[in-house]
């Protein structure tokens, strides 16, 4: 059970890190900005579902090993649920309206949430691996 919790949390941490720091950079390096933005916009709903599911399952398993790690992972799942169901739609609406100021504010919030989530997943991984 402990090994599975560590592996799932490592998968979560690594996947979130790769998506955040690699995926957008690769798209913008290889495609025109409009196409890259379309690709990112299309990927986020699936990415968020993957984070929610992976964090929730890892968190449920972690309850048998360490409750702090479990709550950290559940927090990642719940904050991602907010990002997917609310924040993402607000960001897309601001983009569609051409409201650059609102987009920048909301996108900045999403980046802060994502970075915090990566840090929290890393913290949970350290707890579970020790």
> What pLDDT was estimated at residue 1?
82
Kindly report the pTM of this predicted structure. Answer: 0.94
> What pLDDT was estimated at residue 101?
98
Is the alpha carbon torsion for 58, 60, 63, 65 positive or negative?
negative
Mean pLDDT for 2-24 is 96
Mean pLDDT of the chain: 96
Q: What span, in angstroms and rounded, lies between the C-alpha atoms of 93 and 99?
A: 8
Task: Give the percent of the chain with pLDDT over 70.
Answer: 100
- For 100-110, the pLDDT digits (tens) are 999 999 999 99
Selection from 60, 91, 63 nearest residue 77 by Cα: 60
Residue 24 scores a pLDDT above 90: no
> What pLDDT was estimated at residue 39?
94
- For 49-94, the pLDDT digits (tens) are 999 999 999 999 999 999 999 999 999 999 999 999 999 999 999 9
C-alpha 81: how far from its chain's center?
10
Residue 35's CB is within 10 A of a number of other CB atoms, namely: 12
């Amino acid at each position: 059970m402990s090994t599975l919790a560590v592996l799932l949390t490592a998968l979560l941490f690594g996947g979130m890190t790769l998506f955040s720091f690699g995926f957008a950079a690769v798209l913008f390096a290889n495609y025109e900005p409009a196409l890259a933005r379309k690709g990112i916009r299309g990927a986020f709903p699936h990415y968020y579902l993957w984070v929610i599911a992976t964090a929730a399952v890892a968190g449920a398993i972690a309850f048998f090993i360490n409750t702090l790690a479990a709550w950290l992972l559940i927090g990642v799942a719940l904050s991602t649920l907010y990002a997917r169901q609310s924040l993402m739609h607000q960001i897309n609406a601001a983009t569609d309206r051409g409201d650059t100021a609102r987009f920048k504010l909301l996108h900045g919030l999403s980046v802060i949430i994502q970075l915090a989530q990566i840090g929290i997943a890393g913290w949970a991984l350290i707890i579970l691996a020790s």
